[in-house]
Structure 1
Amino acid sequence: MKKILIVTLLLITFISGSNGENILKDDFTNVNEWTYIADNVMGGISDGGVEFNLVDSNVYALLSGHVSTENNGGFIQIRRELKNIDLSKAKSIRVYARGNNEKYYIFLRTTGTILPWQYYSHEFTVNEEYNEFIMPIKDFKKSGMLLANQINPKKITSVGIVAYGRDHYAELYVKELEFLE
């Protein structure tokens, strides 16, 4: 009986921990924490915006617009500052999103990304149905050789949801973004 109890407790611990414990969950109910940014801050001509909409008591962010690589541009994004949040135990990011069958990115900035064009990124491709995307922080790719190879989660300062890198129309609906243990 004691062995069964121990095995059961271990299984419960393993199963409940497999999805990771939530460190930070953003469901876009506080829209003031998110800022829209486009490449026009550096001379680009991409044009878009963000809308926060309420449907069936759930808020979602809609990032949409035309991404253009003209004039050295090529992005639209929404970004949230995370400087006062302890993410030291974060192992992955989970996003619930849908859209127009395009590739999008999560960008992370850290205390080591000093220049405006430095970031770490992870891509995901959406379809017309909401899907869960889990992105291990260790799999984020650095944008340049001057950055550390791996992200120290304790040093994350912001997260961005980004349409980037090629001429296209962006239409990305995001219900939640979470940092998980």
Structure 2
Amino acid sequence: MRSAFAAVFAALFCLGGAAALMAEDLVIETFDSAPGTRWDYVADTVMGGVSTGQARFETERGVAFARLSGEVSTQNNGGFIQVRHRLQIPVPETAAGVRLIVRGNGEEYFVHLRTKGTRLPWQYYQAEFETTGEWREVQLPFDVFAPSGSLMRKTPTPGRVVSVGVVAFGRDHSARVDIREVGFYDR
């Protein structure tokens, strides 16, 4: 089964898809091939907030990455800026969590997952990670993702995840987080 799974994802990657199966990880993004067609910038301004920012796709010393930067403000019931990717392929049920390679300005950031069951804009699953000025790998098991509401499942189900967002959230601060790779890791 695993080799059939690997063959499918290898074929998708060879055909120009953004996904590749590497070792035990499913990499969904390396930001090196038109990432602006797959990632969206969203801010609290869609709900009346006043945070400002941007998502840019850059290359530095041959390394492609996304940079989410801006000013997060909790004024007017706001408090987030986000870069989000809607998944084109389902996450394998064997996935244990989200894997990122990131660096930043030393602030804490979040990964937000939306699933087939999170239909309202304020519904998501959230897990926190820290940044340093150096690239580092972050693994976030699904069981550390907290639901944003009490009527949601306790943890997200891998096969039901439909989007992944990297978010500066919840407090007034200057944000700058670079994301070099996004994917899922296996059990």
TM-score > 0.5 by shorter chain = yes
Question: Which of residues 94, 97, 116 in structure 2 aligns to 1:111?
Answer: 116
Pairing 1:54–2:33 present: no
Pairing 1:82–2:81 present: no
Q: Which runs of 4+ in 1 moved over 2 A?
A: 83-89
1:22 alignment partner in structure 2:
25
Pairing 1:180–2:174 present: no
Bigger radius of gyration among the two: 1
Pairing 1:72–2:94 present: no
Question: Which of residues 164, 168, 174 in structure 2 aligns to 1:169?
Answer: 174
- Bigger Cα displacement from structure 2, 169-178 vs 78-87: 78-87
Amino acid at match of 1:94: R
Deviations 1:119-154 (A, max 9, x none): 001101111111111111121111110100121111
Among all aligned residue pairs of Structure 1 and Structure 2, give the percentage whose two residues are the same amino acid. 42
- The answer on whether the counterparts of 1:34 and 1:79 sit within 8 Å (CA) in structure 2 is yes
- The answer on whether the counterparts of 1:83 and 1:156 sit within 8 Å (CA) in structure 2 is no
Residue 76 of structure 2 aligns to a residue whose secondary structure is helix
Distance 2:26 2:133 in 1: 28
Distance 2:59 2:135 in 1: 16
- The answer on whether the counterparts of 2:90 and 2:160 sit within 8 Å (CA) in structure 1 is no
Residue 95 of structure 2 aligns to a residue whose secondary structure is coil
Residue 91 of structure 1 aligns to a residue whose secondary structure is strand
Residue 46 of structure 2 aligns to a residue whose secondary structure is helix
Q: Which runs of 5+ in 2 are unaligned?
A: 1-21
Residue 76 of structure 1 aligns to a residue whose secondary structure is strand
Distance 1:87 1:117 in 2: 25
1:40 alignment partner in structure 2:
45
Distance 1:83 1:153 in 2: 14
Deviation at 1:20, TM superposition (A): 6.9
Amino acid at match of 1:44: G
Residue 41 of structure 1 aligns to a residue whose secondary structure is helix
RMSD, aligned CA: 1.5
Q: TM-score, normalized by length of structure 1?
A: 0.85
Deviation at 1:94, TM superposition (A): 1.2
Question: Which of residues 133, 143, 158 in structure 2 aligns to 1:153?
Answer: 158
Q: TM-score, normalized by length of structure 2?
A: 0.83
- The count of corresponding residues between Structure 1 and Structure 2 is 163
Deviations 1:28-83 (A, max 9, x none): 12311100000000000000001111122221111000000011100000000015
2:6 alignment partner in structure 1:
none
- The answer on whether the counterparts of 1:142 and 1:148 sit within 8 Å (CA) in structure 2 is yes
Residue 145 of structure 1 aligns to a residue whose secondary structure is coil
Deviation at 1:89, TM superposition (A): 2.2
